[in-house]
Amino acid sequence: MPVHGSKSEKPDAAVLHRRDAYDLLGVSRNSTDQEIKSAYRKLALKYHPDKNANDPKAADMFKEVTFSYTILSDPEKRRQYDAAGFEAVETESQELELDLSSLGTVNTMFAALFSKLGVPIKTAVSATVLEEALNGVVTVHPLPLGIPISKKVEKQCAHFYSVMISEEETQGGFVCRVHSPDKSKFKLLYFDREETGGLNLALQEESTKVGKVTSAGMYFLGFPVYRLEQTLNSMISAKDPDAAFFKKLDGFQPCEIIELKAGTHVFAVYGDNFFKSASYTIEAFSAASFSEEKQNLRAVEAQILTKRVEMSKFETEYREVLAQFTEMTSRYTQEMQVIDDLLKQRNEIHASYTTGPPVKQSRSRIRGSVKESKEDSQIRERKSKRDRPKKKKWFNIHLKVDKRKSC
């Protein structure tokens, strides 16, 4: 529902705790998501600032209604609120939709710039369009089954179409698809008809890029069909790629309506471009002849739901291993630095033997070695002298003996 800013303004705490979220929206605690959404849209349209200029009470009521809806429209937040009230719910990061029709030219230019830079901006259907539909003053054109219609819709305006569905077509399933060859940005809307004859917005699908076109579709096949909300994931991606990977399937949520009853149903194409009209082709057809495609869709979406559960468990394991890896990587870096420092010291010591100057102590050691060699020589010489007389005496004795023998 349209608001004036991209983020919610958090109402005063005293105001938030004054009224129960269910009571404020006028629904019971066992209300369905569709009932809560319908109640919110009526109240938001009633108290919208565009319709209540200079009325602070209406502005406060609008904020409070929007605050309550952000809680009850989220299954996890609703569960927390049911268990412990407002205090258990965090809504600081809740992103609301931006009504481009309520912005001036300058603000619209800034929004367009941010969108072009990749900043996700979730836009809303104009309050004027919703009010005209609720009052039943819009022009509705017939859309025959199987016959595509191509047109251009002005920015923040809508083209309404009525489709007649028989009981047989209801049982076989029904599909409404829109695509834009110009890659225009648009919304596909589905309206419930009120008892008063007015139209109340029940479903909306954002266009997404698919190959060379932008496309959006609604599938009423008699079993739950899921859609993927990508805005939240786009916001997470810029901050934490890992979190974006693990939360990628969190936006995979079932559509509120799984089948349509026989009768006339109203769809609309809303131009969501910032400055120019949106070209589109809309087509409605029975899905009775697409039995194989329906089976494949059901099987694939079941696998996606299973994978979402697996990814939740895998994230816990991944975070634990990543923490260990980060710790090991840090230690690896530290140990490598210590080893490098030790090897550097060793190399410096080796280099000192060849590049350093002679040390004085080494000269004294050399002189000491020479002195020791001289002393050894002198000792050997004295020993030699002591031995010489003994040898001479021994020689003289033997000489005397020989002379006696000769006589």
Q: How far apart are CA 331 and CA 337, in angstroms?
A: 10
In the numeric block, which tokens belong to residue 130? 């919703």
pLDDT-derived band at 41 (thresholds 50, 70, 90) equals confident
Comparing 23-32, 178-187, 366-375, the range with the smallest average pLDDT is 366-375
Q: Is 157 strand, coil or helix?
A: coil
Q: How far apart are CA 294 and CA 223, in angstroms?
A: 9
Mean pLDDT for 172-198 is: 91
Look at residue 96 and tell me if it is in a domain.
yes
Look at residue 330 and tell me if it is in a domain.
no
Look at residue 129 and tell me if it is in a domain.
yes
Higher pLDDT, 206 or 49: 206
Q: Which letter, b or e, does each residue of 255-266 get, where b requires 16 or more Cβ atoms within 10 Å of its Cβ? A: beeeebeeeebb
Higher pLDDT, 313 or 256: 313
- How many structural domains comprise the chain? 2
Of all residues in the chain, the percent with pLDDT exceeding 70 is: 71
Look at residue 389 and tell me if it is in a domain.
no
Look at residue 193 and tell me if it is in a domain.
yes
List, in sequence order, the alpha helices (H) in 241-290.
241-246
Give the tens place of pLDDT for each residue, 347-366. 988 888 876 565 555 555 55
Q: For residue 112, is pLDDT > 60?
A: no
Shared domain for 95 and 3, answered yes or no, is yes
Look at residue 332 and tell me if it is in a domain.
no
* Predicted pLDDT of residue 68: 84
Shared domain for 174 and 137, answered yes or no, is yes
Q: Is the pTM of this model over 0.85?
A: no
Shared domain for 134 and 60, answered yes or no, is no
Rg, the chain, Cα only: 45
Phi then psi dihedrals of residue 24, to 5 deg: -65, -40
**Mean of pLDDT over the chain:** 78
Shared domain for 30 and 118, answered yes or no, is yes
In the numeric block, which tokens belong to residue 379? 């000792």
Shared domain for 61 and 169, answered yes or no, is no
In the numeric block, which tokens belong to residue 168? 């047989």
Q: For residue 13, is pLDDT > 90?
A: no
Shared domain for 149 and 91, answered yes or no, is no
> Residues with Cβ < 8 Å from 343, sequence gap 6 or more?
none
Look at residue 270 and tell me if it is in a domain.
yes
* Predicted pLDDT of residue 189: 95
Look at residue 163 and tell me if it is in a domain.
yes
Give the CB-side neighbour count of residue 315, counting CA atoms within 13 A: 16
Shared domain for 130 and 29, answered yes or no, is no
Shared domain for 135 and 267, answered yes or no, is yes
Mean pLDDT for 245-255 is: 83
Phi then psi dihedrals of residue 248, to 5 deg: -60, -35
Mean pLDDT for 182-190 is: 92
* Predicted pLDDT of residue 146: 92
Domain boundary pick from 250, 271, 289: 289
Give the tens place of pLDDT for each residue, 257-296. 888 999 999 999 999 887 789 999 999 999 999 999 999 9
Residue 268 sits in a domain of what CATH number? 2.60.120.380
Q: For residue 220, is pLDDT > 90?
A: yes
Structural domain range at position 274: 125-223+258-289
Residue 15 sits in a domain of what CATH number? 1.10.287.110
